[in-house]
Amino acid sequence: MQQLFPSPNAGAFGRRQTRERGARIPVTVLTGFLGSGKTTLLKRFLEMPEGYGTAVVVNEFGAVGIDDALLRSSADQTMLLGNGCLCCTTRTDLQNTLRQLVVERERGQIPDFRRVVIETSGLADPSPILQTFATDRALGELFHVETVITCADAVTGPDTLDWSAEARKQAILADLLVITKTDLADDTKSAALSEKLRALNPRAAIERAVAGDLDPALLTGAVAPTQDRSLFVAETAHSDGIGSFVMTWDKPLLWIAFARTMETLIALRGSDLLRAKGFLHIDGALGPVLVQFVQHLAHPPVELDRWPDDQRGSRLVLITRHIAEDTVRNLFAAIAALPRP
Amino acid sequence: MTTDSTCWNFKLLAQHDLQGFGGMGEGMSISLTKDGRRIIWLAHESAPKNFTGVDVTDPRKPQVVVQTDLPEAYMRSNSLEVSGDIMAVAYQTQKKGQKHAGFELFDISNPEKPRSISFTDCSGPNSRGVHQLWFCDGEYVHMAAGSDDFESTHPLDDQFYRCFDVRNPSKPVEAGRWWMPGTRVGDSAPPPKRLASRDMGFRAHNTNVYKERPDRLYLGYIDGGMFILDIADKANPKPISHWNNAPPYGGFMHTVLPLFKRNLLVITDESTVDAAKDWPKLIWVVDARDEQNLLPIATCPLPPVDAYASRGGRFGAHNIHENPSSPTAWQSDEIIFGTFFNGGLRAYDLTNPFQPKEVAAFVPPPPKGTPVGAVQLNDVFVDERKIVYTVDRHTGGLYILETDF
C-alpha cells in the first residue's frame, strides 16, 4: 500500500537510517553461565553515568529472584521474570514484560528509560531470545538487539564449557566475550579459557573484567571491542557440529539473488542456521544494508543513509550447525549464476 | 513511581527562559545575518512582549539579542515569519474595535535593532486584526485576518484569508481575500451550522503557500475544516476542495501541510481546552493524489489520554514543522514534528503513511513558574541543520534539541 505514496528519500528497504537500530530501543542481552559474574558486571554498569536510564529485565531460574534484589537498588527499572528459563516456556513472559515496559513508560508509570538489558538465566540458550525479536513483529519494531555479551569466569569457565552445551552456545552466539574473576584464577587458567572461547567464537572480541570493571561503552555496543574481529575469521567446528564462517564479496550484490539464497538456505536448513549477520553492499542502495537471520527468521533489512568510510564490499557472518561453508558458498554461486528475471 | 518527563531519541542541547518572558506563541522563523550569525525569531503568546530574537549560531548557547514590547497590553503578536531581512509580525487584539490590529514589517538586517518598515492597519469595528501570517517568498504575506469592511454573520467568524502584496514593503497593498461562504453578512450562502460540541468559529487559521505550488493556498479554517484554494489569480481565489472532520470530531482545524513529493497532506487540529476535554485532537494524514477528493488514511498515534489529561493544561495536537520554503528550514516528506501541549514534542515517521510511527518524543518537566503545572509545548521549527526548536506556551521559553534517530 505504501508504494501508492513513494517516498523520495526511502530506498527499497524503507527510510534510510542513520544507524541500524533506527529509532528502536537498544537491547543488550547479557548472558553467561551460573556464577559467571553477569550481575556484578551489570551492577557496575548501572552505577556509571552510561548506565543511567537502563531498564533491566532479569530472568531467574528458580523461585527466589536473588539477582533482582541485588539490582533493584541501582537500576531505574527492574523487571523480574520469575518462572524459569527465558529460552523455554517464558518467552511469552519476556514479550509481555518488554511491551509492558513501553506502555508504562508512555503512561509515565515508570521513569523514562533509554536502554534495556536482558540478563538471562545462566541456563538459557540465548538464540530463542534473539528469535523473539524477529518473530514478534510489534517487539521487533520497538526493540533492537544491539549486542549479545557472554560472561565466562576464569575459575570454572573452562570446565563449564566442556560439560555444558548451553555454555558453549552462549559463547558461540556472543558479540563480546567477557572473562571475569581473573583475579581469582591463575594466568594459566585465564589463558586456557581464552583459548577455548577463541576456538568457539573467533569473531567476538574477548575482554577481561575484574569486579565488573568494563568499559561501559562495550555493554551498549557503542564502541567496537578493541580487537579486530576480522583477524580471527576462520572456519571453526566444535563437537556440537556448530561452526562459523564469514563470506565476503567485493562487488555489489543483487538483492534478489541474495534474498533468494537466504530463503533457500532457511527453507532447507533453517533450524541449523543459528545466526547470521550481514553488512552488505547491495546494487542500487545508497548505504550499506544490514541483515540479520536467526534460524528460520529474517529481521527486516535496514539500509543506512551513508557508508561509514570509503570501504565498500559485503560481509556475511554465519553461525551454523552441520552446514559446511562450501555448501553455503556453492548455494550463493548457483543462485547468482541464474539468469536475472 | 510516576514521572512526567520523557526524552526519547532527542537530545536537549539548551533551554532559555527568554529573560522571564517564556510564554511563546506560534511564530518561529530563522534569519541569517551578514556577519554569519543565525537568529531565531519568536512571537510571544501574549503581552507585554512582542517578539524575541535569539542567537542560535551555537545551539548549545542561545543568547537573546533583542526582546521588544507591544504598544498595548490588550493585544498579542502570536505569529511571525521571516523572508530574507524582512520580518512580518501579526497583531491581534483582545476585542474587536481596538487599535493596533494588523501586521507590521520590520527590517531585521541588524537583529539587535529591528526597524519598523510599515504597519498595515486591519482594525475595525468587527476586527481583532491578524492571528496568523505566512511570509516565505518576500513578495506576499498571507494571513488569517479581520478587516474594517468585514462584518461576519456570527461573532466568532471574524477572521478570513487575506493576502497582501509587500513587494514594496513600506506600502503593502491587499492583493486578495477569501472567506467561507455564509460567514459574511450579505453572502448568498446560508451561515454554516455551528458545531454542537464546542463552537470555536468558522474562521481562517493557517494560510500556507509554497514555492512548489505558488498557485495553491492550504488553508485551515477551524470549525470549517480545511480548504485548498487556487490562488493563481490572487484577486480571485477559487476553492478546489474542502475536507472537514467535524462533526463527529471536535473541530478547530489548524494547519494543512502538503507533502508535495508524495501527494499527501498532513493536517492538524488544535486542542484548546484544558484537561483534554476536547480530546481527541489529532494529526491527520490525508491522501491528496486527487486534490479534489481528499481522503484521510491515518492519524499519528497519540500517547494515552488518561495518562496526560490530568497533568495540567491542554493535551492534544497543535502546530507542526511546516516545511516553509526557506533556506533556513529543514524539509522532509517523511518525518513530521508536532507539538501536543503537555504531550510534548513528538516526531513521526510517515514512510508508510497508512501507519505513522512515533520515532521520538520530548516531554520536559513542568517549567519553572508555569501556572498549569505541566509543560505546554506550543510550536516547533526545525532548521536546515536539523536542529529542533520548540517553545512553551506559558513560561518555559525556548528548548533546543538534536534528533537522535
- Are B4 and A108 a contacting pair at CB < 8 A? yes
Along the 341 residues of chain A, how does pLDDT read in single tens digits? 768 999 888 888 989 999 999 999 999 999 998 788 888 898 888 888 888 888 888 765 433 343 444 444 334 445 544 433 333 344 567 788 888 888 888 887 777 788 899 888 776 778 778 888 877 878 888 999 999 999 999 988 888 888 888 888 899 889 999 999 888 888 888 899 999 999 888 888 899 988 778 888 888 876 654 443 333 333 444 557 777 888 999 999 999 999 999 999 999 998 899 888 899 999 999 999 999 888 888 888 999 999 988 989 999 989 888 899 999 999 999 998 988 76
DSSP letter assigned to residue B341: B
Contacts of B352 in chain A (CB under 8 A): 1-2, 14
Interval B285-292 mean pLDDT: 98
Q: Which residues are CB-contacts of B301 (< 8 A; sequence separation ≥ 6)?
A: B348, B356, B357, B358
Range in A177-186, B136-145, B277-286 the model is least confident about: A177-186
How far, in Å, CA of B30 to CA of A196, rounded? 60
**Residue A177 and residue A150 in contact, taking contact as beta carbons nearer than 8 Å:** yes
The CA-atom distances, in angstroms, between A10 and each of A6, A179, A284, B356 are 8, 42, 12, 15
What burial class does residue B275 get, using C-beta atoms within 10 Å of its C-beta: 0-12 exposed, 13-18 middle, 19+ buried? middle
Interface test with B, best of A7, A21, A24, A114 (most B CBs within 10 A): A7
Q: Which residues are CB-contacts of A35 (< 8 A; sequence separation ≥ 6)?
A: A122, A153, A156
Among B49, B38, B139, B134, CA closest to B90: B134
**Residue A15 and residue A8 in contact, taking contact as beta carbons nearer than 8 Å:** no
Tens digits of residue pLDDT in B228-250: 999 999 999 999 999 999 999 99
Note whether B290 contacts A: Cβ–Cβ < 8 A.
no
Q: Give the rounded percent of residues in chain B with a pLDDT score beyond 90.
A: 98
Q: Which residues are CB-contacts of B142 (< 8 A; sequence separation ≥ 6)?
A: B133, B134, B135, B161, B162, B163, B207, B208, B209, B217
Q: Half-sphere exposure (CA, 13 Å, Cβ side) for A6?
A: 3
Contacts of A18 in chain B (CB under 8 A): 405
DSSP string spanning A60-101? -SSS--HHHHHHHTT-SEEEEE-SS-TTTTTHHHHHHHHHHH
Compute the CA torsion angle B304, A14, A136, B359 (nearest 10 deg).
-30
Q: What 3-state class would DSSP assign to B171?
A: coil
Note whether B212 contacts A: Cβ–Cβ < 8 A.
no
Among B271, B272, B277, B275, CA closest to B372: B275
Q: pTM for this structure? A: 0.90
Interval B184-194 mean pLDDT: 98
Contacts of B264 in chain A (CB under 8 A): 5
**Residue A276 and residue A284 in contact, taking contact as beta carbons nearer than 8 Å:** no
- Strand locations in chain A, DSSP E? 10-11, 14-15, 25-32, 54-59, 77-81, 115-119, 143-153, 176-180, 205-209, 236-237, 242-249, 273-280, 289-294, 297-298, 302-303, 314-321
CA B13 to chain centre: 24
Residue B3 has a pLDDT of 60
Among B42, B45, B47, B87, CA closest to B65: B42
Residue A37 has a pLDDT of 87
**Residue B249 and residue B284 in contact, taking contact as beta carbons nearer than 8 Å:** no
pLDDT exceeds 90 at position B316: yes
- Are B6 and A105 a contacting pair at CB < 8 A? yes
Residue B113 has a pLDDT of 98
Residue A82 has a pLDDT of 40
Among B334, B323, B326, CA closest to B380: B323
Q: Which three cell numbers stand for residue B247?
A: 462533526
How far, in Å, CA of B379 to CA of B339, rounded? 6
- Are B1 and A4 a contacting pair at CB < 8 A? no
- Calculate how close chain B gets to A142, using CA atoms only, in Å: 10
- Are A2 and B303 a contacting pair at CB < 8 A? no
Cβ-based interface (< 8 Å): residues of A facing B = 1-2, 4-10, 14-15, 18, 22-23, 105-112, 114, 141
- Are B351 and A14 a contacting pair at CB < 8 A? yes
Range in A127-131, A269-273, B141-145, B371-375 the model is least confident about: A127-131
